[in-house]
Amino acid sequence: MNILDKITLDKRKEVTLRKGLIPVSQLEQSVLFESPTISLANNLRHSKSGIIAEHKRRSPSKSVINNELNVQDVAKGYEDAGVCGMSVLTDGKYFGGSLDDLLTARASCQLPLLRKEFIIDNYQILEAKAYGASVILLIAAILSRDEIKQFSEFAKSLNLDVLLEVHNEEELHKSIMPSLDMLGVNNRNLKTFEVSLDTSKNLSKLIPDDFVKVSESGISNIEAIKTLQPYGYQGFLIGENFMKTENPGHSATQFIKDLER
Per the annotation, the verdict on 169 as an active-site residue is: no
Per the annotation, the verdict on 186 as an active-site residue is: yes
Dihedral, 33, 57, 94, 168 alpha carbons, nearest 10: 80
Cα atoms in the Cβ-side hemisphere of radius 13 Å centred on 67: 8
**b or e along 164-202 (b: 16 or more beta carbons within 10 Å of the residue's beta carbon)?**
bbbbeeebbeebbeebbbbbbbbbbebeeeebebebbbe
Exactly one of 49, 215, 217, 251 is catalytic; which is it? 217
Per the annotation, the verdict on 220 as an active-site residue is: no
Exactly one of 186, 187, 200, 215 is catalytic; which is it? 186
Exactly one of 11, 43, 49, 54 is catalytic; which is it? 54
Measure the CA–CA gap between 254 and 252, rounded to whole angstroms.
5
Exactly one of 127, 165, 171, 240 is catalytic; which is it? 165
Per the annotation, the verdict on 93 as an active-site residue is: no
Measure the CA–CA gap between 181 and 218, rounded to whole angstroms.
22
Exactly one of 11, 43, 49, 56 is catalytic; which is it? 56
Mapping DSSP to helix (H, G, I), strand (E, B) and coil, where does residue 207 land? Answer: coil
Exactly one of 79, 127, 216, 240 is catalytic; which is it? 216
Per the annotation, the verdict on 217 as an active-site residue is: yes
Exactly one of 11, 116, 129, 213 is catalytic; which is it? 116
- Residues assigned a catalytic role: 54, 56, 116, 165, 186, 216-217
